[in-house]
A and B are shown apart, each in its own frame.
Chain A
Amino acid sequence: MSSPTEARQLTFSQAVNEAIREEMDRDHRVVLFGEDVAAAGGVWKVTEGLLDRFGAERVLDTPISEAGIAGLGVGAAMTGLRPIVEIMFGDFLPLASDQIVNQAAKTYYMSGGMTSVPMVFLTSMGAGRRLAAQHSQSLQAWFAHIPGLKVALPSSPHDAKGLMKTAIRDENPVIFLQDKVDIYQKGPVPDPSHEYTIPFGRADVKREGEDLTLIATSSMVRQALDAASELAAEGIESEVIDPRTLAPLDEETLLDSVRKTARCLVIDEGYQRYGAGAEIAALVGENLFYDLEAPVRRLGAMDVPVPFSPTLEDLTIPGKEQIVEIARQMFED
């Protein structure tokens, strides 16, 4: 028997489910809606059991109307509720993007601070499940680009729970992206009696090292950690840092690490061109150019629509091998 304080092993989806459950218990204004989230418990099982616990007025199945449900969520958030709106796949965010980009993100500013939009867009991201071009994208950079939106993308069940609780309590619209390759991966999560939240804008050092900084997001953190083990065998000690939120971005922790290591590689699963990696690499370059021992590098998904065939898809997703290869290049003279 495990003691109550001993960390349990939960999947991402169980951890997020627990976060939502705790927050719905805590605050009656939190409501949840999306396609298949209520009776079916969500295609990712993230919302399982919530209908039974909170009833049909707070947990609602919706029609397949991404723009509509996003927009009703924004309106409800403006007027006293704190909605969590699930958009099943991140690839469907573009259908809701007027409501996210032009309404949710701008309302607080355009109203001169009169009306805030406390809500969460819960969605999924990432390739690797052979779902092809319209179910595999990682569009976090689109939304991190927009002033007024916060973007969280956890890399462990522990972080997922803590970040989701913060997202629900935040007064602003939050895009919360779960990697769909990792969604059933388990990791340690403290017992519910030990409540915790993880503040936005606070990066986490997942591994310490002196020689190279690997800044990685979401499922790329695991790839970076695997790469770090391999590099360690060659005598290169990597520091692996997960920003956990792209907006706000913990610039200080990232820069402190690169100041120490003088080498930086950024890995994010969005398309490499104009991606999150480009932004972070630019940040490092602007601030630490003269401290660097090698040019800042970035690694993102190949700039092609995600192909279906496994042999092709695997070529497009950044992974351990490429990270190791680029890292080695960074130590060549």
Chain B
Amino acid sequence: MALTTESTPSQGLDAAARLKMLRQMLTIRAFEYRVGEFYERAEMPGITHLSIGQEAVAVGVCAHLNRNDYITSTHRGHGHCYAKGAGLVPMFGELLGKANGYCRGKGGSMHIADRETGHLGANAIIGGGIPLATGAALSAKVLRNRGVGVSFFGDGALNEGILLESMNLAAIWNLPAIFACENNHYGEYTPTDQVTAGRLTLRGEAFGIPSAEVDGMDVLAVYDATHAAVQRAREGGGPSFFVFDTYRYLGHGMSDRTRPYRSREEEDEWRTRRDPIERLRNQLLEAGHTSESELDAMGEEVRAEVEEAARLAQEAPFPDPEEVDRHVFAD
């Protein structure tokens, strides 16, 4: 079943709602550039994966969700975390392994979670979070609370069996599950089309799940495409599958500096012609919803907010040694 994405509920979004989306995308990007700086200065332990370029997917999908809805995320998940409602200080804190992090520093970039806002966690196992969000959808159905479970995952997970098992279960049980694939065209250093057979949305259609390919570089297109799906899920109409066409501007991880597996021309094409932030910015200006000076001020505010959060996290203490064997088991 193909999913028609004709309707444009985003037309009903007022200037404030659109500006909020812009601000969220700007914040995610500024946060991630700041993470990159931490990393470059060797002030951040471990490894991290930045989603710069992909912000529209997280923001456009999460715009429909509330705190009773659950998401699961990936190793490239700072955007999902923030868009679902997390705060910058405990996010930075977690990435730096500090006691004030969301997971008390025990999860890090690849496992960040925020119970309060319905974020069940990033996942360092490709596809690992998909059944978890689908299970959250099962809870919502059994508990009848109108919640939905959204799994974000990369194109790499399209070839993990767990996706297909989860889709089948969501379909037979008619679960309020949204499968949100971020197709950024590479899994690490391998082009997706080189390792992925078939039209991508067919993976959902094969199970009778309404499925659509969506421009993931356009936050309003993401918003429009997922609006009806989330509503339908809430009303007992079952799962949906989206493949968002998107692009990560930077390397797979921080050590991937030269990106020999793709051309600079290809990167420039996405960055200069399709950037989601530029796009919304221009739309807002054209529609007269804002002015250059207002947007400049917003940019300044976001940068200051991120800088302040980074500072607070950096000043925060590391966890006490007693933390090390706490939370292995729940009481």
Task: Write the nearest CB–CB distance from A5 to chain B, whole angstroms.
Answer: 33
In the complex, whether A134 has a CB less than 8 A from a CB of chain B is: no
Asked if A172 and B330 sit within 8 Å, CB to CB, the answer is yes
CB contacts (< 8 Å) of A114 on chain B: these are: 102-103, 113-115
CA distance A99 to B166 in the complex (A): 12
Contact B105 A171 (CB under 8 A): no
- Cβ–Cβ contact B106 & A71, under 8 A: no
Size class of the B contact interface (CB-based, 8 Å): 35 or more
What residues of B have a CB within 8 angstroms of the CB of A74 in the complex? 131-132, 135
Interface string of A101-121 (1 = CB under 8 A from B): 011000111111111111000
Query: CB distance B113 to A103 under 8 Å?
Result: no
Residues on the B chain within 8 Å of A70, using CB = 131
Contacts of B273 in A (CB 8 A): none
Which listed residue, B72, B114, B131, B137, touches A67 by the CB 8 Å rule? B131
Of all chain A residues, the one with the shortest Cβ separation from B104 is A112
Looking at the assembled complex, report how far the CB atom of A19 sits from the nearest CB atom of chain B, in whole angstroms: 21
Instruction: Tell me which residues across on chain A come within 8 A of B141, comparing CB atoms.
Output: 57
Given A73-B135, A75-B120, A102-B125, is A80 in contact with B143 using a C-beta cutoff of 8 Å? Answer: yes
- Is A79 a contact of B169 with CB atoms below 8 Å? no
CB pair A112–B162 under 8 Å, yes or no, is: no
- Give the complex CA separation of A270 and B236 in angstroms: 45
> Roughly how many angstroms separate A148 CA and B106 CA in the complex, as a whole number?
14
Q: A65-B168, A68-B166, A113-B104 are in contact. Are A79 and B120 (CB under 8 A)?
A: yes
User: Is A98 positioned at the interface, with any CB of B under 8 Å from its CB?
Assistant: yes
- What distance in Å separates the Cβ of A175 from its nearest Cβ neighbour in chain B? 14
Instruction: Answer whether residue B50 sits at the interface, using C-beta atoms and an 8 A cutoff.
Output: no
Judge whether B111 and A110 touch: CB under 8 Å.
Answer: yes
Chain A residues positioned under 8 Å from B327 (CB to CB): 108-109, 111-113
Enumerate the 10 nearest inter-chain pairs by beta-carbon distance, A residue then B residue, closest first: A75-B135, A71-B131, A68-B165, A112-B104, A75-B132, A116-B330, A112-B103, A171-B330, A72-B135, A65-B165
- Residues of chain A touching chain B, judged by Cβ–Cβ distance below 8 Å, are 31, 57-58, 60, 62-63, 65, 67-81, 98-99, 102-103, 107-118, 147-148, 150, 171-172
Known: A76-B138, A103-B123. 16 other contacts (CB 8 A): A31-B142, A63-B169, A67-B162, A75-B149, A77-B135, A78-B70, A81-B143, A98-B162, A99-B131, A99-B162, A112-B102, A112-B327, A115-B113, A118-B330, A147-B328, A148-B328
Can you name 10 A-B pairs with beta carbons within 8 Å?
A: A71-B162, A71-B165, A72-B131, A75-B120, A75-B131, A75-B138, A75-B149, A78-B132, A79-B70, A147-B328
